[in-house]
Amino acid sequence: MTPLLQNHRSPVQRAPMVSFTFEGEALSAHAGETVLSALIRAVHLYLRDAPEDGAARGAFCCMGLCQECLVLVEGRRVESCRQVVHDGLAVEALKRVPHD
Amino acid sequence: MTDSYDIAVIGGGIMGCSTALRLAEGGMWPIVLDQGDLGQGASGVNAGTLSLQIKRVKLMPYALRGHRAWEAMGDAIGFRKTGGYTLAFTDGEAELLQERQTLKSEAGAPIEFVTRKALREAAPNLSHKIIAASYCAADGYANSSLTGQYYRGRLRDAGIAYRERCGAMAVRREAGRFAVETPAGTMHARRLLLAAGAWLKPVAAFLGVELPVRVRINTVSVTERMPPLIHHIVGHATGLLTMKQKPNGTVLIGGGWQGRGTPQEGRGEVTAETVAPNLALAQFALTPLKEARILRSWTGFEANVPDFYPLAGPLPGIEDAFVLGCVRGGYTIGPFIGSLMGDLILGREPELPLFDPGRDFDED
Amino acid sequence: MIDPCDIVILGAGPAGANASLSAARAGARVTLLDEQTQPGGQIWRAKSAAIIKAQPTPESDAGNTLRDCLANSAVTFVGDVRVWQIERTGDIWQVYTVADGQPGKIEAKALILATGAREYVQPIPGWTTPGVIGLAGATALLKHDMTPPGVATVVAGTGPLVFFTASEIRRLGGHVAAIVTPNTRRDWLSVMPAMLSRPDLVRRGLAWIANLTLARVPVLWGHAITRVEGARAVNGVVATKLDASGAPKGKKREIAADSVCLGNGLIPAVEAAQLAGADLRYHPELGGWVPGAMTDGSTKIKGLYICGDGAGIRGAAAAEIQGKLAGMVAANQLGFDLAPDFEALKSAHARAARFGLAMTALSLQKPGDQALTTPETILCRCESLSLARITAEIAKGAESINAIKSGTRAGMGACGGKFCHTAVARMMAASQGVDPADIPPPTARPPLRPVPASVFAEGFDYDDLPISKPAPL
């Protein structure tokens, strides 16, 4: 993956990279950063479809309230803005279940 | 707008609204008063279960007709006839189930006992620890949240006056009619129907009548949207669990676990000590529920009297005043018993007998 | 069962952390809880473990100082814990928690709520598009992960946060396509007198603006974003000049961007206070509905104290003082000596609040705000409900937030109404000509945050179920 963002002008020393997957795609992240941060840097802003109208959604409040950035980790629904990346973490997008 | 009506209905839940609708059909001019919004008491916060398996034997004819009323309301109220299972996990529960459901079946509910194999095929996500289950094809649910919206629409269509956030602060009998004091002024009516649910006792006390009304504080919880887990409604032989998955994927969990609070203080409160085993039992019965997150828990007041039969008839000692409430299974039976109540007030013979509020209440 | 501690505090931002320090200094046994890993709240939010070294900022310095103080104090800090329920039995509070999938319960003689604020965002067409995040949300991302929200960002909203956010995005290497703020330079002039109480912050603000100007970042004063373009990703925004009422009436401008930060000020997070039984009153100058609390945080309820932005948006400096006061008075009520500087601090609170209140004033709603939300705009994000759907429910007779909620599910979704009920209430107030003070927020219900059902199954034994008397046949 090539980060689209340039190196930070203000020098920031970050933890070594680890690997994780989103929907099976291999991505890298600095150990200890949030899944949301890693996904944003990989330009994965679209995280799921709204359950009612199927419209695309991504993170919104970034502080664990709005539930827009939910993803699945080991079958559990977690807020990607609160879930920390560790090596080998497998993150899946929530699947929309249309109803009548 | 006039302030004099044929009848003032205190309480805009299912009981009050369905009675008002029948009264208007019969030519009366009612006003419905509610201290909050229409249908926001027990009518709007209960779990929406429409199950014949949890109805009292003697009330079965009412429940069967109530079911028909809900079916007729259909989509407007989120009605779904899914069929329902009642589960037993121990020998004691299985015995209880056998004994009670047999009597309910004899009373006319289409209840059958199902094998574990049949249950597992029909509802594969239910626990494998179930040792016995009964099934009723007539069971289902409606969306209680829509009660207010539904009846508001019906009252408006019928041209029936209603006032929300307009609770009775005092009721007097004067010059052959009733004066109801409300925040919006004094309303006058020739007759009075008390249909105030958990608030019946203080309302009847305005007229010096002591009703032996007690209140249960039932807890209901809901999960986030889940993939399809269960099609049928689910109950438990002891009554400690009700469960259903709504079309949007959320799972509604009840079972009569008690919160705390009193109607006089406003709403009841959820207590962690009772909601936790309620939710634990739910995932014990429906295993994949452990993956769900709980979004909300709340309580609703369920009124009853010592013999657990309805108060439905004239208010003792007060001419032209009536009371309707404390109906066990009131959500299911409400729309039907409301029309019976309307007939009684209109001076017609109700299709089924009502329940004299002046009877002796035997604690046992 | 562990003995009840003296004081449990929810929220380790400037208010809660300072409350814990002053109460502990008085001798009380204090437990301080926060859903973040480290203390600091949103304003002094600690960096993630992924940041090993970075240039300090005033926020990171303040946060580090606070974290050092806590580490060297007797306060028991518990991070990564979420409170889902608050109850009270006799004089003892029970605070129910979830941490790492496990249930917990903390008992205390006094409860201090320092739950801070969340963001209000006026709904606009396209605000649900991936790439649009809250303005305060952006600051969380910038402070915690030091990640800009995208490659080219439009930073839009009221108050000083747009300039802070834009500056931080640039400092971290991001590109700011434009700043769009409904505030005018005149709005800023009107709050200048109050701002002069904090020359340090004024200097910082001026430095941000000077820097952004030098970098030729367009600043659209008196404008709002009226549309976010793009369906699955942001392509750009339309910004429109506002008239004096705040309604979009003037020239439109298209700005290309892949990300947007959007915010219209802060509102106090009052759900925990509601669960604890506090009464709410409407104070637009404090951000809307606030629990009744005195300068020292005390409330009508014995043993309940509320401080910081959760008691009204007055800013960090006031929150620190109110937190200290709440800690002191809570400890004092439990029999510990009152700190000698109590009265002096109390009289310092109003002055400390001046700056924060002036910033809150920049986000006061204007009558024209409602025109930003078109009928097709999604109001309730969780349930994808448009303004038109809500208006239709009102036309059918729904007269309250609770009635709208029941009829439409607005607020019944996963966020619990945190991002729609204020918008619905403001819309109702504007369209029905009702005083917002007459539209109380919906009843708060536990859990305060979504709780995994499995948490409740911990320690469940089927055989322990109460054998209730069977229901009457």
The pLDDT tens digits for C30-54 are 999 999 999 999 999 999 999 999 9
Q: Are residues C248 and C288 in the same domain?
A: no
Closest CA of chain A from C128, distance in Å: 6
Residue C1's pLDDT is what?
Answer: 44
B311-330: per-residue pLDDT in tens?
999 999 999 999 999 999 99
Which chain A residue has the Cα nearest residue B246? A99
C413 shares contact with chain A (CB less than 8 Å)? yes
Q: Do A68 and C381 touch (CB under 8 A)?
A: yes
- Length of chain C measured in residues: 473
Q: Are residues C259 and C137 in the same domain?
A: yes
Q: Do C140 and A62 touch (CB under 8 A)?
A: yes
pTM of the model: 0.96
C134-146: per-residue pLDDT in tens?
999 999 999 999 9
Confirm whether C450 is domain-assigned. no
**C445 closest CB neighbour out of B38, B40, B296:** B296
Q: Do B44 and C396 touch (CB under 8 A)?
A: no
Q: Are residues C247 and C147 in the same domain?
A: yes
C126 shares contact with chain A (CB less than 8 Å)? no
CB-based burial label for B297 (10 Å; 0-12, 13-18, 19+): buried
Chain B neighbors of A97, CB-CB under 8 A: 225-228, 249
Mean pLDDT, range B55-78, rounded to an integer: 97
Q: Do A99 and B248 touch (CB under 8 A)?
A: yes
pLDDT value at A3 more than 50 = no
Confirm whether C100 is domain-assigned. yes
pLDDT value at A2 more than 70 = no
Chain A neighbors of C174, CB-CB under 8 A: 5
Report the distance separating Cα C183 and Cα C224, nearest Å.
9
Nearby residues of C307 by Cβ (< 8 Å), 6 or more positions away:
C15, C16, C19, C112, C113, C114, C293, C297, C319, C322, C323, C325, C326
Closest CA of chain B from A74, distance in Å: 10
Residue C469's pLDDT is what?
Answer: 75
**A100 closest CB neighbour out of B226, B247, B293:** B247
Q: Do C457 and B280 touch (CB under 8 A)?
A: yes
Q: Do A56 and C51 touch (CB under 8 A)?
A: no
- The neighbour count for residue B176, using CB atoms within 10 Å, is 8
B156-167: per-residue pLDDT in tens?
999 999 999 999
**B293 closest CB neighbour out of C105, C397, C453:** C453
Residue A100's pLDDT is what?
Answer: 62
Question: What pLDDT band is residue B363 in, cutting at 50, 70 and 90?
Answer: low
Q: Are residues C15 and C53 in the same domain?
A: yes
Q: Are residues C130 and C81 in the same domain?
A: no
Segments forming the whole domain that contains residue C133: 121-264
Return the residue in A45, A49, A74 with the most chain C beta carbons within 10 A, the one to mutate for interface testing: A45
Which tokens hold the place of B73?
A: 């309301």
Domains and CATH numbers, chain A: 17-93 (3.10.20.440)
Residue B2's pLDDT is what?
Answer: 53
Confirm whether C458 is domain-assigned. no
Q: Are residues C349 and C254 in the same domain?
A: no
Q: How high is the mean pLDDT of chain C? A: 96
Q: Are residues C72 and C175 in the same domain?
A: no
- The neighbour count for residue B207, using CB atoms within 10 Å, is 18
pLDDT value at B362 more than 80 = no
C84-140: per-residue pLDDT in tens?
999 999 999 999 999 999 999 999 999 999 999 999 999 999 999 999 999 999 999
Q: Are residues C96 and C138 in the same domain?
A: no
A58-72: per-residue pLDDT in tens?
999 999 999 999 999
Which tokens hold the place of C74?
A: 């007797």
CATH of the domain at C416: 1.10.10
pLDDT value at A4 more than 50 = no
Q: Are residues C277 and C326 in the same domain?
A: yes
Domains and CATH numbers, chain B: 4-43+145-213+306-345 (3.50.50.60), 81-141+214-304 (3.30.9.10)
Structural domain ending residue among the three candidates C360, C385, C413: C360
Question: What pLDDT band is residue B289 in, cutting at 50, 70 and 90?
Answer: very high
Question: What pLDDT band is residue C2 in, cutting at 50, 70 and 90?
Answer: low
ipTM value for the complex: 0.96
Q: Are residues C30 and C136 in the same domain?
A: no
Tally of domains within chain C: 3
Q: Do C232 and A46 touch (CB under 8 A)?
A: yes
Confirm whether C407 is domain-assigned. yes
Residue C302's pLDDT is what?
Answer: 96
Q: Do B40 and C457 touch (CB under 8 A)?
A: no
Chain C neighbors of B275, CB-CB under 8 A: 446, 456
Residue matched to tokens 């069971």:
B139
Q: Are residues C245 and C309 in the same domain?
A: no
Residue B141's pLDDT is what?
Answer: 98
Closest CA of chain C from B338, distance in Å: 22
CATH of the domain at C174: 3.50.50.60
Confirm whether C470 is domain-assigned. no
Which chain B residue has the Cα nearest residue A75? B291
Chain C neighbors of B307, CB-CB under 8 A: 472
Q: Do B225 and A100 touch (CB under 8 A)?
A: no
Q: How far is CA C177 from CA C152, C170, C238, in A?
A: 6, 10, 12
pLDDT value at B190 more than 70 = yes
CB-based burial label for B61 (10 Å; 0-12, 13-18, 19+): middle
C149-170: per-residue pLDDT in tens?
999 999 999 999 999 999 999 9
Structural domain ending residue among the three candidates C212, C246, C264: C264
Chain B neighbors of A100, CB-CB under 8 A: 247
Handedness of CA B228, B229, B230, B234 (dihedral sign): negative
pLDDT value at C3 more than 80 = no
pLDDT > 90: percent of chain C: 95
B254-287: per-residue pLDDT in tens?
999 999 999 988 779 999 999 999 999 999 999 9
Confirm whether C349 is domain-assigned. yes
A95 shares contact with chain B (CB less than 8 Å)? yes
Q: Do A97 and B228 touch (CB under 8 A)?
A: yes
> CB of B16 within 8 A of CB of B31?
no
Q: Are residues C141 and C186 in the same domain?
A: yes
What subunits touch chain C, counting only 3 or more CB pairs under 8 A? A, B
